[in-house]
């Protein structure tokens, strides 16, 4: 892999997209590299939270520009046939589905352009944080295409149908981080130079909880949101029950009940 880099810091993995000659645009190869990166992180048993972020470069005018992902690769898509378009849509959806259902929470640290396939990628993450320079939008219809990687589905589920349709129909690519915050597309906005520190703090806070319980929460929320409440509550009950097979449940409750004030800080074992 050359354009997607994985770094591990304690119990957190950082997946960084570094394809800035095309503003991190996602081609078939880039989607494959992203998938490979998540497969690699999936094998790291002691990684309990993941941060997905973009990168920066100095452009031709000498200005530093930052991009999470500026969309799918328009150059590659420009000559696609119907069959190739469908295959590209399926491939990209498979990768976003993998991220959405990754066993650990994934935080998108959105450091700049977050357009089209980039916004779709961010929406497949569990939590989105944005830097104050970030720009959002679904510009697809301005290119003669529909979103193909969850934009017509996850956006409406996340921010409501009316606002989603505004983004999807207008093709505007200039919704600011504050706009994204107001519409519920991102959880928090930070100055660019604080974004990764804040993402790391949040990731470490999540990684310090019982990892199996966190994974079960993710499954219960994701699956439950796509089913009726009664079935979802049964799923939640099953997830809750499964926790009692873990050492971490016994440890976590014993830690709470231990009245010794000098006890060591809590440290779960992912067992
Ligand atoms: N695809 C290919 N190349 C891109 C893309 C892209 N999405 N975005 C930027 N680039 C390239 C530019 O062509 C340029 O290349 P070069 O240096 O060779 O001329 C380089 O990146 C730098 O870009 P700019 O010179 O344009 O830089 P600016 O700072 O002036 O502007 C922008 C940056 C605003 C991001 C601008 O490049 C832009 O508008 N990009 C396109 C944004 C867009 O429309 N994205 C949506 C694409 S469609 C999509 O994502 C569909 C998703 C479908 C799901 C997946 C498959 C089904």
Q: CA nearest 145: which of 76, 96, 209?
A: 76
Superfamily of domain 211-257 in CATH is Lyase 2-enoyl-coa Hydratase, Chain  A, domain 2 (1.10.12.10)
Q: Is the pLDDT of residue 85 over 90?
A: yes
Structural element, H or E, at residue 65: strand 64-69
Domain with CATH 1.10.12.10 in the chain: 211-257
Query: Is the CB of residue 191 less than 8 Å from the CB of residue 131?
Result: yes
Q: Is the pLDDT of residue 117 over 70?
A: yes
Q: CA nearest 111: which of 162, 51, 28, 166?
A: 51
Q: For the chain, what is the mean pLDDT?
A: 97
pLDDT of residue 113: 98
CA of 25 to the centre of ligand 1 (A): 6
Q: Are strands 175-176 and 135-137 parallel, antiparallel or unpaired?
A: antiparallel
Rounded Cα gap, residues 3 and 37, in angstroms = 10
pLDDT of residue 142: 98
Residues of the chain with pLDDT > 90, as a percent, come to 96
Superfamily of domain 4-207 in CATH is 2-enoyl-CoA Hydratase; Chain A, domain 1 (3.90.226.10)
Instruction: Judge if the beta carbon of residue 265 lies within 6 A of ligand 1.
Output: no
Domain with CATH 3.90.226.10 in the chain: 4-207
CA of 24 to the centre of ligand 1 (A): 8
Q: Which of 18, 40, 120, 205 is catalytic?
A: 120
Q: 40 an active-site residue?
A: no
Instruction: Judge if the beta carbon of residue 25 lies within 6 A of ligand 1.
Output: yes
Instruction: Judge if the beta carbon of residue 74 lies within 6 A of ligand 1.
Output: yes
CA of 22 to the centre of ligand 1 (A): 6
| Residues 173-194, mean pLDDT to the nearest whole number | 98
Residues of the chain with pLDDT > 70, as a percent, come to 100
**pLDDT tens per residue, range 34-74:** 999 999 999 999 999 999 999 998 988 899 999 999 999 99
Instruction: Judge if the beta carbon of residue 239 lies within 6 A of ligand 1.
Output: no
Q: CA nearest 85: which of 17, 163, 147?
A: 147
What b/e string do you get for 62-84 counting C-beta neighbours within 10 Å, with b at 16 or more? eeebbbbbbbbbbebbeeeeeee
| Residues 12-26, mean pLDDT to the nearest whole number | 94
Q: Which residues contact 227 (CB under 8 A, 6 or more apart)?
A: 235
Q: 198 an active-site residue?
A: no
**pLDDT tens per residue, range 95-104:** 999 999 999 9
Instruction: Judge if the beta carbon of residue 139 lies within 6 A of ligand 1.
Output: yes
Question: pTM for the whole thing?
Answer: 0.97
pLDDT of residue 1: 63
């Amino acid at each position: 892999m050359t354009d997607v880099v994985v770094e591990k810091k304690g119990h957190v993995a950082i997946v960084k997209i570094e394809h800035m000659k095309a503003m991190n645009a996602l081609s078939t190869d880039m989607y494959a590299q992203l998938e490979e990166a998540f497969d690699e992180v999936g094998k790291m048993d002691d990684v309990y939270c993941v941060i997905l972020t973009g990168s920066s470069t100095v452009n031709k005018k000498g200005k530093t520009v930052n991009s999470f992902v500026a969309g799918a690769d328009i150059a590659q898509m420009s000559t696609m046939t119907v069959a190739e378009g469908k295959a590209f849509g399926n491939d990209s959806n498979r990768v976003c589905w993998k991220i959405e259902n990754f066993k650990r929470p994934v935080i998108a640290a959105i450091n700049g352009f977050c357009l089209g396939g980039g916004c779709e990628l961010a929406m497949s993450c569990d939590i989105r944080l944005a830097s104050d320079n970030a720009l959002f939008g679904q510009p697809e219809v301005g290119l003669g295409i529909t979103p193909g990687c969850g934009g017509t589905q996850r956006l409406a589920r996340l921010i409501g149908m009316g606002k989603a349709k505004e983004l999807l129909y207008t093709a505007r690519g200039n919704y600011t981080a504050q706009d994204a915050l107001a519409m519920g597309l991102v959880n928090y906005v930070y100055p660019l130079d604080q974004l990764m520190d804040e993402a790391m703090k949040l990731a470490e806070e999540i990684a310090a909880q019982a990892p199996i319980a966190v994974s079960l929460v993710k499954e219960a929320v994701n699956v439950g949101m796509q089913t009726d409440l009664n079935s979802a509550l049964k799923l939640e009950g099953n997830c809750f029950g499964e926790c009692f097979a873990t050492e971490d449940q016994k440890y976590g409750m014993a830690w709470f009940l231990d009245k010794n004030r000098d006890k060591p800080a809590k440290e779960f074992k992912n067992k």
